[in-house]
Amino acid sequence: MLLDLGGVFVEGARTKMAGRLMKAGQTVVANLGGALERATNATGAEARARDEGELPAFAVVHEDEDLVVVEKPAGLLTAPTPESDRNNLAGLLARTAGGKRPIFVVHRIDLDTSGLLVFAKNDDTNRALSELFRAHRLERSYLAVVEGAVSEALKLIEHPVGGKRAVTHVELVERFGARATLVRARLETGRTHQIRLHFRAEGHPVLGDATYGRRGPNDPPRMALHATRLAFVHPRTGKTLDLESPWPPDLSGWLESLRAA
């Protein structure tokens, strides 16, 4: 089953061949983790097809000859991982064109985060978009529900992440008493888990964050974090693409329960 998923590497190369002959001294690495836990407990093409059939649906919000912008649901990986090269958004997009369309991963959002992602469809666009992200020359905003009552004075969070400068701009959207606050977080930089780490540092972890948060009576059905806006200059046309995704349906009922309470 682990071979089916693509979680086995021989000398650094992914392999799915159970009968492969080994040479003395070769290194085999087996990656165990979430992909194995989420997979059907069987092997073969039918089992992997069942896995794919149970994935949450994504939506394409913009596509042209150079790039595609997708609304990723929570529970779907952005790209292949060491654990598996299957059941990820990049792979699904490539397969919609019969595997003939190249898909380049420009950036990622976490498994349990939903929202907007852009993928490149050729080398030139991949390089151009990657430079936009590297230079932070684009707009990326998230909606998040965080623990506690966030002060209106909190406009900027600036704490290093991974030893690098990290800056998040904060806008208070709605308070739910002392229990929780809906905020809009705009990334000036884009470090891994930046929003989650920044709000934890301020004493307001994102609700439902199993890694950096804490369990409580107001927990959502999954992490309350959504990539709501993505705006950038199209590398070929020079026109600004400004796309928005509303608060996701799978968290809407929970959000209403906070309002009612």
Weakest mean pLDDT among 71-80, 178-187, 190-199: 71-80
- The answer to whether residue 110 is catalytic is yes
Catalytic residue among 4, 51, 110, 209: 110
* DSSP helix/strand/coil, 199: helix
**Residue 192 near residue 162 (C-beta atoms within 8 A):** yes
Mean pLDDT of 245-252: 97
The DSSP secondary-structure symbol of 246 reads: P
CA–CA dist 25, 241 (Å, integer):
52
CA–CA dist 99, 91 (Å, integer):
9
pLDDT computed for residue 94 by the predictor:
87
* DSSP helix/strand/coil, 22: coil
Weakest mean pLDDT among 44-48, 115-119, 193-197: 44-48
- pLDDT score of 261 more than 70: yes
Q: What is the pLDDT of residues 44-68, one digit of tens each?
A: 556 555 656 567 889 999 999 999 9
pLDDT computed for residue 50 by the predictor:
64
Instruction: pLDDT band for 151, please (50, 70, 90 cuts).
Output: very high
Taking Cα atoms as reference points, which of 47, 11, 14, 50 lies closest to residue 28? 11
The tokens of 100 are what?
A: 């003939």
- pLDDT score of 20 more than 60: yes
Instruction: pLDDT band for 208, please (50, 70, 90 cuts).
Output: very high
Report the phi/psi class of residue 25: left, alpha or beta, with left for phi > 0 and alpha for psi in -120 to 50: left
Domains along the chain with CATH numbers: 1-54 (no CATH), 55-260 (3.30.2350.10)
Burial of residue 258 (number of CB atoms within 10 Å: 0-12, 13-18, 19+)? buried
- pLDDT score of 10 more than 80: no
